[in-house]
């Protein structure tokens, strides 16, 4: 992956100690960008920040983020700092609106004061809600069904207003299911609690967990389980750099889906982990979870056409293999 580089050199990565942010940081450093990671380490991991500068701070503290802009010659911001547990967002919506929305406003205000005009936002396909058509395109109606998705959509709406009023150009990157780990094995995926299917299946294959639970086996899909679009975290990272180049070169805002355009069922993911690990996995079938759509698959053609981006790790066994190798050594 080769980038133009050179135009923007110093990037602030908010939430850069987390899963996706740390992978983006690695790829930015590999391509000669200078980075500053700002993270409160509530969900992030200090050991994942292996490149650039690190600032321990919280967006809830306006003075901390302002100081960061004063100390470093920041030219653009990539924002990954958000709570992202859908079920928790339903039980504790205030926590999500305060952290995901109010704290983002603190960040945007600090950007305004520092005259920083470029913003790459970690958004989500959850802003679409229950899809009316598959695959999902960017102009699909955005009707999120939980506070997490609504908090992300609120930020997208805020960014549109900040673009018009203050000239802050942004790109919304709507992820589907981020998955996998750094192919070089330096960083990977670690959440507490872990809710993502691939690492949970890997834990079961490694004997760390006794089993894997399938929520819902009666969906109108080929095997009765939910189908999702899994995108490798390195491909996501690549898209962030291309989005940065786009927003700088074009001086305009936009939104893009990031996925593989391929759907895999829960059972297919478990089978892939079995193949890669060579181990059997005990499966427990449970009732559906509220709010899980049967199928979520992206149409990412817009990113191909405009950003010249495309997935390089599209094969599900390749994605699972990177995750399995990392967890085998780091769990």
- Provide the CATH number for the domain around residue 94: 3.40.50.720
The dihedral over CA atoms of 28, 159, 110, 12, expressed in degrees to the nearest 10, equals: -10
Q: Percent of the chain having pLDDT more than 90?
A: 94
Same domain, 103 and 121: yes
Q: Are residues 213 and 162 in the same domain?
A: no
Q: Does 188 fall in a domain?
A: no
List residues bridging with 36 in a β-sheet: 12, 53
Residue 219 counted as domain residue:
yes
Residue 128 counted as domain residue:
yes
In whole angstroms, what is the distance from residue 230 CA to residue 220 CA? 20
What is the distance, to the nearest Å, from the Cα of residue 174 to the centroid of all Cα atoms in its chain? 8
The whole-number pLDDT of residue 207 equals: 96
Are 202 and 72 part of one and the same domain? no
Structural domain contains residue 294: yes
Same domain, 221 and 129: no
Task: Judge if 204 and 222 occupy the same domain.
Answer: yes
Predicted confidence (pLDDT) per residue in 136-146, tens digit: 999 999 999 99
Residue 271: its pLDDT value, please? 98
Closest among 77, 187, 93, 82 to 124, alpha carbons compared = 82
Helices 197-206 and 316-330, packing angle to 10 deg: 60
pTM, two decimal places:
0.95
- Name which of 191, 202, 173, 266 is nearest 228 in CA terms: 266
Same domain assignment for residues 245 and 122: yes
Does 155 share its domain with 280? Answer: no
Give the whole-number percent of the chain exceeding pLDDT 70.
98
The verdict on whether 300 is a catalytic residue reads: no
Instruction: Give me the pLDDT at residue 289, please.
Output: 85
Taking Cα atoms as reference points, which of 264, 103, 111 lies closest to residue 176? 264
pLDDT of residue 1: 38
Residue 153 included in any domain = yes
- Which CATH number covers residue 216? 3.90.25.10
Same domain membership, residue 207 and residue 145: no
240-279 residues labelled b (16+ CB within 10 A) or e (exposed)? bbbbbbbbbeeeebbbbbbbbbbbbbbbbbbbbbbebbee
For residue 251, what are the domain limits? 10-178+231-259
Does residue 186 lie within any of the structural domains?
Answer: no
The structural domain count of the chain equals: 2
167 with 240, same domain? yes
Give the DSSP per-residue string, 267-302.
Answer: HHHHHHHHHHH-----EEEEPPPTT--SEE-B--HH
| Residue 85 included in any domain | yes
Measured CA to CA, the distance from residue 91 to residue 76 in angstroms comes to 34
**pLDDT, tens digit, 9 for 90 and up, residues 188-235:** 999 888 999 999 999 999 999 999 999 999 999 999 999 999 999 999
Whether 62 is in a domain gets the answer yes
- Shared domain check, 165 and 46: yes
Measured in degrees and rounded to the nearest 5, phi and psi for residue 33 equal -85, 145
- Of 19, 118, 148, 313, the active-site residue reads 148
| Cα dihedral across residues 207, 210, 213, 217: positive or negative | positive
The secondary structure of residue 176, as a DSSP letter, is -
- One domain, residues 30 and 170: yes
How far apart, in whole angstroms, are the C-alpha atoms of residue 81 and residue 315? Answer: 28
Asked if residue 248 and residue 213 are part of one domain, the reply reads: no
Do strands 118-124 and 76-79 pair parallel, antiparallel, or not at all (unpaired)?
parallel
If you average pLDDT over residues 179-186, what whole number do you get?
Answer: 97
């Amino acid at each position: 992956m080769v980038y133009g580089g050179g135009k923007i050199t110093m990037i602030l990565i908010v939430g850069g100690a987390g899963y996706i942010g740390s992978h983006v940081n690695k790829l930015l450093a590999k391509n000669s960008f200078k980075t500053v990671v700002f993270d409160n380490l509530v969900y992030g991991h200090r050991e994942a920040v292996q490149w650039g500068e690190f600032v321990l701070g919280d967006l809830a503290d306006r003075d901390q983020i302002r100081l960061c802009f004063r100390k470093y010659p920041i030219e653009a911001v990539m924002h990954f700092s958000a709570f992202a547990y859908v079920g928790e967002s339903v039980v504790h919506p205030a926590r999500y609106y305060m952290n995901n929305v109010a704290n983002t406003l603190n960040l945007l205000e600090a950007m305004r004061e520092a005259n920083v005009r470029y913003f790459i936002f970690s958004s989500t396909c959850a802003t679409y809600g229950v899809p009316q058509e598959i695959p999902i395109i960017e102009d699909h109606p955005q009707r999120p069904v939980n506070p997490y998705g609504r908090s992300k959509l609120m930020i997208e709406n805020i960014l549109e207003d900040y673009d018009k009023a203050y000239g802050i150009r942004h790109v919304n990157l709507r992820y589907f299911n981020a998955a996998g780990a750094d192919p070089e094995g330096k960083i990977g995926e670690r959440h507490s609690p872990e809710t993502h299917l691939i690492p949970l299946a890997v834990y079961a294959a490694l004997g760390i967990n006794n089993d894997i639970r399938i929520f819902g086996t009666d969906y109108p899909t080929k095997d009765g389980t939910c189908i999702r679009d899994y995108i490798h975290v390195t491909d996501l990272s690549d898209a962030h750099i291309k989005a940065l180049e786009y927003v700088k070169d074009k001086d305009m805002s936009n939104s893009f889906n990031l996925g593989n355009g391929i759907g895999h069922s829960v059972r297919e993911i478990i089978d892939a982990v079995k193949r890669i690990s060579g181990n059997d996995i005990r499966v427990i079938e449970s009732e559906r979870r509220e709010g899980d759509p049967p199928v979520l698959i992206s149409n990412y053609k817009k990113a191909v056409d405009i950003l010249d981006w495309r997935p390089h790790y599209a094969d599900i066994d390749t994605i699972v293999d990177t995750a399995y190798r990392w967890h085998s050594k780091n769990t």
